[in-house]
Structures are given as C-alpha cells and as structure tokens.
Chains A and B, each alone.
Chain A
Amino acid sequence: MSAAVSLGWIIAVPFAAAILIVMSDPRPNQREGVTLAAALLLFVLNAALVPRVLAGEALVLHLAEPVAGLPIALSVEPLGMTFALVASFLWIVNSIYSVGYMRGNKEQHQTRFYVCFAIALGATMGIAFAANLFTLFMFYEVLTLCTYPLVVHKGDAGARAGGRTYLAILLATSIGLQLLAITITYVIAGHGDFTPGGLLAGRIEGPIVGVLLALYMFGIGKAALMPLHRWLPAAMVAPTPVSALLHAVAVVKAGVFTVVKVVVYVFGIDLLAGESSAAWLLYAAGASILIASLIALRQDNLKRRLAYSTVSQLSYVTLAAAILVPISIVGAALHIAAHAFGKITLFFAAGSIYTAAHKTEVSQLDGIGRRMPWTMGAFAVGALSMVGVPPTAGFLSKWFMLTGAMQSGQMFAVAVIVASTLLNAAYFLPIVYRAFFRAPAVDDAGHAHGEAPLPIVLALSITAACTVALFFWPDLALLLARDLAQAAR
C-alpha cells in the first residue's frame, strides 16, 4: 500500500467505524465488535508506517484546499507517529475495558458513547498527522466537540455543568487565542506547514515572540497549563473509560503534543532559546506542576486526584519542551508515551473499583487491595510510574528531562522535578498503603465484592504490563524521540 493511501486509511477507519456503529445500533455485540475490529485495524495501519518513518521516508497526503493557501494535508513525523501508535494501541485496550465497564454499570446511550469514541480517535489521528497548523486546528476542534457528548453522558445537572465548563474553556482558548496565534503565524510566514528547525525561525524577533508563544501556550487549552486547567477536573463527570482514554491519553496528549509541535516545528528551539521574552514558559510550566500537585494532595475523590495529577504531569511535557535542548525534547516525547500508559492504568483501576465496589473516594479504600489484588497491583505500578521509580516508564522520561535540565544549567527545572517527585509520592503512595496494609472499615464488612469483570481486569493488567515493558524495551520510543530531537536542531 502506498504511503499516502495508508495515511488516508488511518483517518478513514475510525470515521467509517463510527458510521458502522450507528448502523449496528440495536445489536450490542456487533457494535462492540466493530469498535474492536476498527481499533485493531487502526493499530496495524499505524504500526505498518513505523519502519518507513524510521527510514526517513517523507509521507505526505494532500486532502483538499478549501480556501486558497489553506491546504488540509497530512504528513508523518516521529512525534506524531509516537502519539498515533500510543493512542491507537490504547484504543484496543480501552475498548475491551469499555465493554466490561459500560455493561457492568448498565450505562444508557451506549451507541452514542461508542460513536463519539470512534470519532474522537479519528480526530486524534488527524491531530497526530496534521501537516500544518490549520489542519491541526480543525481536528483539534473536532476532538473538543465530539468529546462533549461523552462528558455529559450521564445527562444530569452535574454532568451538564461539567460539560459547560469543558466546552467553555476549550473553545474559548482555542478560538480566542490559538486561532489568533495561527492566523498571526500565517500572516508572518505566509504558510503554516510544520518545518523542522522552526517555521518562524529567522522571521520574527523581540517581545512579539513571547506574546505569540503565550497565545499558543494558553490557546492550547488541552495542555491544561494553569490557570486554564479547570476543564480537566470538570470532565471527570464522564464515565471512566472516557476519563481513561480521552482525558488521560487522547485529548490531553493532543494538547501537549501540539505544545511540542509548536515549540519544535513552529518556533524552533533555537529561536526560543535566543529570545528572553520566551523564558516565562519554563516558570509557568514549573508553577503549574507544583500547584497542581499541591491541589491533588487535598482531593479525596479518586478521579479528581488523578485529574490534578494529570494537570501536573502534562506540564512536565511543557516544561521539558521549554528547557529547549534536544535531550529534553526526547524527554518530552517519551513522557507523552510513558504518562499515557501509567495514567490510563490508574484510571482503569479507579473505574474497576467503582464497578466492583461502587467506591469513589480515597478514604473509602482501606484494605481494598485484598479483595481486588489485580486492580490495586496495577494501580501500584501506575503510581510508581507517576512518581518516576524504576522499573517503570515514568523513570525514563524523567531521567531525560533531568539530564536536559542539568545540561542546560536550568536549576529551576531541576528543583521543580525533584520537588514534584516528592509531591507525587505523597499523594499516590498513601493510596497504595491504604489498600494493602490497612484493615477494611468495620461498616464495610457486609458489602461483599471481589474483582471487577474480566474485561476490566484484563485491560488494566495489559496497560500495567506495558508501563513496565516500556522501561525495559524503550528502543522504538527512543528511536522516534531521537528523530524528533534531530528535527528540532
């Protein structure tokens, strides 16, 4: 299959799946079969592209040009390849999990759920392979809109309020700031194609660089840079598979992915490194990491604690990008993958607890590890990865970030990474301790439950295993990340 054709298929498969899911509406088995088949096919298509990307082949697909000078085009580069691989692989696992979760909890509107999910994956692929800013922006907006029905899935007043915050912040930042930044970029450079070394390199200088960077960084609301992070905890009203794949992987990673793309391919790290007005980003990301961690400490609701942990972890990627040396860019790319596996495991575990034990608060989890050993074991792996303890993937990415920070003498970044590691430990390890070493609460004795349904346990075991596997076999992720760092020079 020619490269352009397979790129086209990667975008087409999820959207086609959405249509097929609608058509199989009254038959749940067929509906979920379509989802799984589409997820598998999507992953295979992505995996088939990897050798070509590593060989340095230029893969470009020109789709349309609705307005002169604004082409819709796709192309493959290492970072997008990483993102697409991670998202499409986790879609498979998440689909298995969804079957267990949605049936186990007898959720309403399940067809709508799977349709929106497939569209969201299609949009994610579009973001990962966008060849220019305009294409990326379009798929970015599709992703916002198609995840809204998933956030308000429950349909009650709380879900609607959460959904409103979600849409308001994501649309306000993207239309109000990001679109403006993109337009300015087009006006300055005459085009918006992602260019190794930076599309704006040599075209602008002075304070405008800092301003434009701010428009981008706060315009990419999905990266949840504080103070524009509020939508993420609000989105936690969604069913857990949504929180897991979309608000720990696809949507938020689309945010930090765009951040890295903008830093590497739009500005170029040399331009930003030489411009004092752009230095604020490091401090904003550092502050975001620490403040979000402090808020996470105080959350009793498990999913909210995970959400604030995500806010903090996303800013690691932004911080790594803001260190502006190639080795830290490698760290940023790795962290996109590493955090994805770890955080989806944690969310899977939270959903598993909710399905089996109907518990949502940290303070209710005393002794639960004895009844749900697989779930809490996987949770422990995910938590260790968040803290950055070997042998988990989180250690790797932190290592590259720290190296980058040391190399460039950014002592602020070093201090932030060290301090936040302690904070991560402070809000994750007590949960693990509670689950395994405390006696169950007395009034809980009559409420017998065991592990969650098999699909759920299977899914979270796979992602936990991957979190460890990525530590031992990071070669592919490293190769792709190094290619990205090459392009950043």
Chain B
Amino acid sequence: MSAGAGLAAHLPALQVVLPLLSAPACVLLYHGARVWWLAMGVSTAAFVIALALLAQVMGAGPVSYALGGWAAPWGIEYRVDALNALVLVLVSGVSSIALMFARDSVPREVAAERIYLFYTAWLLCLTGLLGIAVTGDAFNVFVFLEISSLATYALVSFGSERSALSAAFRYLVMGTIGGTCILIGVGLLYAMTGTLNMADLAQRLEPLRDSAPVRAAFAFIFVGAGLKMAMFPLHAWLPGAYASAPSAASVFIAATSTKVAVYVLLRFTFTIFGVEFSFDTLALAKVLTVFAAVGVFAASLAAILQADLKRMLAWSSIAQVGYMLIGIATANLDGLTASIVHLLNHALMKGALFMALGCVAYRIGAVRLDAVAGLARRMPWTFGAFALAGLSLVGVPFTAGFVSKWYLLLGVLHNGWWPLAVLLAVTSLMAVVYVGKVLEVAWFHTAAPGSVTERAREAPLSMLVPLWLLVLANLWFGVHTALPVGVARSAAAALLGLTL
C-alpha cells in the first residue's frame, strides 16, 4: 500500500486528531502570530481532508472507520456519508475563512497576551464540531459536544466588553443543561439496547418502539439538541453569546455550531430512531412545525426591533434555524434537501454578514444601527458585501438563499401546508425589513458631524478578501446549484431510506 493510499484510509481519524493535537501546540508556541499560522494551517488541512472525504463518499458511498482497529459495534466507529461529509466541509471551510479574517480582527478585540488561548479554544471548538459530525457512536457525540461547547464558552468570554462574561456564563448554564439532556438520552438508549453504535442502535430499537424509556430518550435528545441549536423557545442564550463574542469568533460560531446541532437532530431522528418512530409514533412533525413557525416569526420580529446589529443577525439566526426545522418537519425529499442545503447556505450568508460587521467594528468600534449612518460611502466594499449577503438572506433569486427557500417551499407545499408557505413569504419580507433598514441608514443617512464614522476608511484587504470569498460563494451557489443540491439530495434520500 502506497503512503498516499494509506493516508487516505485514515482520513476520518485525521479529521479530528489533527486539530485536537494542535490545540496544546498553540499553548507551547505562545506567540500570537505564530499561533495564528498554526491554526490557519491546521484548519486548512482539515478542510482539505473534509473535501477528500466528500469526494470519497460521493464517489464510492459511505466510509466506515474503526477507531484503533476495534470493529464496530464494540469499538468506536467513525462513519461518513453524504450528510456528515457536507457538515465536515462546512465546518472546516468556515473555520478556515474565519481564521483568515481573524488575523487582523482578533488583535483589536483580544488582549495580546491571551491571543494564543483564543486560538487554542478555537481549535478545540473545531475539534469538537468535526468530531460530532464524523462519529458513528452516540456517546461520542456527547463527548465532542462537550468539547465544542466548553471551547465555545471560552471563545465568547474573550469578548472585549464585560457583558461577554455574563453572556458566556448564561450560555454555559444553558449549554450544560442541553449536554446533560443528551447524555441522559444516550444513557437511556444504552440501558435499553446495550449498544452505542448508531447503526447498531437503529437495528435494536426497532422492536422497542413502544417502551417508555425509548420515548423518554427521544424527548431528552430532542430537548438537548434543541437547546444547542437555539430552537425557539430554547434560544435565550444565543443573542447574547453571538453579540458579545469577538467578531471572528462570532463568524465561526454563528456559521457552524447551530448547524452541527441540527445535524445531531437529523442523525438521531432519522438514522437512529427512524422516520416511522419519529413522525408516525411520536408526531414530531406537529411539535416541530409549531415551535419552528412561532420561532421564525417571533425571531424575525425581534430582529427588526434590534438596534445592535450583531444582535439583529443573532435573532435572524434563530429564525433561520426555524426554517431548517420546518424542512425537517416536512419529512419529504424536497423539505429535507432544503434543510440540509440551508445548513451550508445559511453558513455562507451569515458568515459573510457577521464578517461585514466585523469590518465595521474594526473601523469604528461599534456595530449599533445609529453608528453606521452614512458609513456605506466610506466603506463601500464592506457594505456592498453586506447588501449581497443580505439579499441571499432574504432569498433573492441567483443567491444561495433562494435555492434553500425554493426547495423548502416545494417541500412545504408538497405536504399541502399552505399556512407555512404564507409564513415563509411573510418572514422573507421581514428579512427585507431588517436588512433594508441597515442599508438605508448606511447609504442614505449622513454621519453625525465629528463622529468617528466621518473619518472611517475601508476595512483592510486581509478582512475584505475572506468577506468577499463568502459573498462570491453565495452568488456561485445561487447559480451553480448542482453540487450542494446534489449532495443534499443524496443525503436527504439516505435519511429517508429512499434510493435516488
């Protein structure tokens, strides 16, 4: 066996081990710039690995990897199919682009002597998120979830304002409750079946559908994942955490962590518990549609009312999670495709929007609505990017956002859920309002005389390049939809047990 082929066989393990081992190396390197280079290199490597895995999966079907040579179901199995390959690409890709952005952004917002800790936490967070996605073991999900969560609390607490500490603490409390719920759920499943391997679990749960502990396990996992993804009404931690974290961390967290939680929900409801159990026995669709519909509407309304732009985007994220849940609730091919493709598309648009705000914060130190008055004339590239990513958020044709909305609409209408179709239209309009509000103030209002806005310059190239990479990705995937929709469709088909 050649070295290349040998390496290729171990990609699933490398995906996690590489960032995990690099995290302590950050502490050893200590110096801020050197640490950044390490983190950047590791993250890029992880991205390349994820792309290679995606190519393998799309070419030859799911990849199974027995960790340490212990065959499943006794050992821990890493199992990659179309769904989690996409999540891996998404997480590592966003991490790489956000790190590119972080180089100049972080020193402004984090004290120099703590920068190495910031990147350590970042790599641990990356490890956790990738681990959740790659593993085929239910308990392993919990372990990686805790790794990513603890690292995220730390990342949030690096924020420059005091409120970052309380936001991080609040997130810690809620996140721990969520993690505990998942642990209890997994524990109950283990008690009932004696296995933790996902594929094995799915088989053994088949005859146990009517047992109370299995239903309780489902409920615990549902609530736990719901907390992690900020499903309305379990969302209270999110706006504070997103708004207080350093800009680069906001980009990374906002674009990845809730998506991974949605992935966990997908994996448990479809692969482990099965469509029939989740949707026929437990009426998951009803629960989800109610929470999601109320959440989309309420969060969009809250986004309109925010004066702090990072908070506005945070509320918008809660609404967007609602869209993904609606897609899951449809339990049909189009709806699920929409949810899965929206994992990617939402990461692209929200990443770009948070980056644009990061550029604003870099230049004027604030991201309040009144502070950006007239700023678009000083920073046309930043606000041009904000406008395009905003259009994608609204779901305008030729942007990535349209693709997910269109499939979601098809999925919803396929089930005859007319009120939800109306809700989608109404909440898209609400997105027009909150995005448009920012653009109007930035373009057509004038800056207060003598304010810092009047002297602001365009953001540095090192921040504009990653920003525009994401914006162009939004446009690219709005026109060339074959790749993301193709992957999402095959993932959705696999979840539903269909053959395409």
A positions within 8 Å CB-CB of B: 64, 66-68, 70, 134, 137-138, 141, 152, 155, 160, 163-164, 167, 171-172, 175-177, 179-180, 183-184, 187
Contacts and interface: CB of A to CB of B under 8 A. Distances in A.
B291 interface: no
A167 to B, nearest CB: 7
B276 interface: no
Interface of B: 396-398, 402-403, 406-407, 409-410, 413-414, 421-422, 425-426, 428-429, 432, 436, 440, 444, 478-481, 485
B409 A183 contact: yes
Contacts of B479: 64, 66
Contacts of A138: 397-398
A363 B436 CA distance: 38
Nearest to B478: A66
B406 A70 contact: yes
A175 B428 contact: yes
Nearest to A164: B440
Given A176-B425, A180-B421, 6 more contacts: A67-B407, A67-B481, A68-B485, A138-B397, A160-B444, A176-B429
Given A175-B429, A175-B432, A180-B425, A66 B396 contact: no
Contacts, number: 54
A397 B410 CA distance: 41
A175 B440 CA distance: 20
A167 B443 CA distance: 15
Contacts of A160: 440, 444
A223 B479 CA distance: 30
A171 B429 contact: yes
A184 B413 contact: yes
A167 B421 CA distance: 22
Nearest to B414: A187
Contacts of B414: 187
A152 B444 contact: yes
A179 B440 contact: no
30 contacts: A64-B479, A66-B397, A66-B398, A66-B402, A66-B403, A66-B480, A66-B481, A67-B402, A67-B403, A67-B406, A67-B407, A68-B481, A70-B406, A134-B397, A138-B397, A152-B444, A163-B444, A164-B440, A171-B429, A171-B432, A175-B428, A175-B429, A175-B432, A176-B429, A180-B422, A183-B409, A183-B410, A184-B413, A187-B413, A187-B414
B364 to A, nearest CB: 22
A59 to B, nearest CB: 23
Contacts of B413: 183-184, 187
Contacts of B432: 171, 175
A130 to B, nearest CB: 12
B440 A141 contact: no
Contacts of A137: 397
A23 to B, nearest CB: 16
Contacts of A68: 481, 485
Contacts of A70: 406
A179 B425 contact: yes
Nearest to B396: A141
Given A66-B398, A67-B481, A67-B485, A176 B406 contact: no
Given A152-B444, A172-B429, A167 B481 contact: no
A144 to B, nearest CB: 11
Contacts of B397: 66, 134, 137-138, 141
A171 to B, nearest CB: 5
Contacts of B410: 183, 187
A164 B397 CA distance: 22
A70 to B, nearest CB: 7
Nearest to A186: B410
Contacts of A184: 413
A184 B410 CA distance: 9
Contact of B421 (A152, A163, A172, A183): A183
A66 B341 CA distance: 14
Contacts of B398: 66, 138
Contacts of A152: 444
B438 to A, nearest CB: 14
B431 to A, nearest CB: 10
A19 B453 CA distance: 29
